[in-house]
Chains A and B, each alone.
Chain A
């Protein structure tokens, strides 16, 4: 190890209590910063995973979410008969004509109610969305009052479990199975037969039609043709893009909150680091004087103290990120403001977050160390040496 680095490290160790406190302050900020980014990336990952690139979703033009969208039966038939749609094993096109309705259910434990999205799906729904698998129980029988629930709902809402019944839209619905949608947004939904659900909700139109493409690159031609068709007032989007866009509002809020909190907290951490480093410089004036007398240039002194501040920040980063990574165990469920339905997701740590939080910590260390390091570097040798 270079001698000057050892010198910095050992000096950090000498004032370990002060430095530990300072690093803890930085760790706290790193924790908040990383946790917020992890929340945001979890949200995005959940919604991105909801859609598939080979799927195209059709909604009414200018409808941002399915519950605002209306597609009548004639339009749905035109969409499903397009040549780009892949034909399934049973000879039918892989299409799911779906209705999306929000119902309000009390959350378990609390008195507050929240919205759950009930999705009526067609017989080909599972073939269109291979990421959705039945995890427990069985699939609902077409034409029946049976429903299946997403993995993330179980245990989160009153009576939402296999074997029990839910009452909505003037009917009793029996829960017969639970599906796993691979951490996507579907995990927070209830699925049933679309015809049955539409009947009981007294509507005769779908919300969306999702088709699976034989060739994902045929999207542009399909989109161009159908959007130009005067019989249709629809918009085509790749399914992945459609759901990803649903993360924007909440994601924007999380990011803003995160940045505001991080900046406010980091101000405190930087001031703390500045005070600590000023104290370190003040207690080592003589040493600075000696180093300069021995021929170390001002720039070397500057770098030495900056390195010390950066090492401090590095400790803060390691501690803060370690605690943040524990957050990966935490699941969170909140209202998605775009779809207005409850969405469950996790804190997700990505390599990008590791890197960004490192840069963030080092910037804090740099800012905190800068003024003290400049003071150390600018000291006149004779003045520094006069300090006994």
Chain B
């Protein structure tokens, strides 16, 4: 295991996400709370990156910036050569629909929709017809091993099953990258292993770039690279390569 500074991160053609000089602070009760300061690093295509660090160090904030659901105060975030911080809001929404799949700690499925409908939901933003949408959603559910649960509501599924539905929803549009914020944080060991197994397969077999925030060392061990977000005066990144 080697620990090195972020500046040694890979460069070149296989870079998918390039952050440079990214800063983000929040305003809380008239006070400005700096969270991220001048972060510069790259994430390669087909990478499986685990983002670790103590609570409150800004892991979720960083993930949200990469996923285009929050915007930095300074700096640029290039994804596939396109600086998403420059996109107008509506275009950014379209960009997310096409490029990002989300996996949340608490699954965040629509309670009134069935498993199949939840997976179909992002496809309603595409030009696909109803039949194609159904077929695709079905396929995505079979990839996570839930073909027999399509008609179930989230409340009728276990936590692990719900998270698998969420993964199906994240991959159904075939996005370039998946972002996952503590995807196993709410699961028992067994379910967590299943979910991680699926994510690893998505990365290995389908070449999905995955950025995963996690507390869990066991979860992080599934990744190909780990970055630690440490909180000193300012947060900084430490990289750990796994052999």
Q: Which residues of A are at the interface with B, using a C-beta cutoff of 8 A? A: 2-4, 6-7, 10-11, 13-14, 286-287, 289-298, 380-382, 385, 388
Contact = CB atoms under 8 A, between A and B. Distances in A.
Interface of B: 64, 67, 69-70, 89-90, 93-98, 100, 102, 104, 106, 108, 110-113, 117, 120-122, 124-125, 169
A247 B97 CA distance: 61
B102 A293 contact: yes
Nearest to A8: B112
Given A292-B93, A293-B69, A388-B106, A4 B112 contact: no
B69 A381 contact: yes
Given A295-B122, A297-B90, A7 B70 contact: no
User: Is chain A's binding surface mostly helix, strand, loop or mixed?
Assistant: helix
B98 A295 contact: yes
Given A287-B111, A295-B97, 15 more contacts: A2-B124, A3-B124, A6-B113, A10-B112, A287-B110, A290-B102, A293-B100, A294-B97, A294-B125, A295-B94, A295-B125, A296-B97, A298-B93, A380-B70, A382-B69
A14 B124 CA distance: 23
B117 A3 contact: yes
Contacts of B108: 286-287, 289-290, 385
B122 A294 contact: yes
Given A294-B125, A296-B93, A298-B89, A7 B102 contact: no
Given A7-B110, A14-B112, A290-B110, A385 B89 contact: no
A7 B125 contact: no
Given A3-B124, A292-B69, A297 B93 contact: yes
5 contacts: A290-B102, A295-B122, A297-B89, A298-B90, A381-B70
Contact of B117 (A6, A290, A294, A380): A6
A7 B113 contact: yes
Task: Rank and list the top 5 A-B pairs by shortest CB-CB distance, nearest first.
Answer: A295-B97, A10-B112, A381-B69, A295-B96, A297-B93
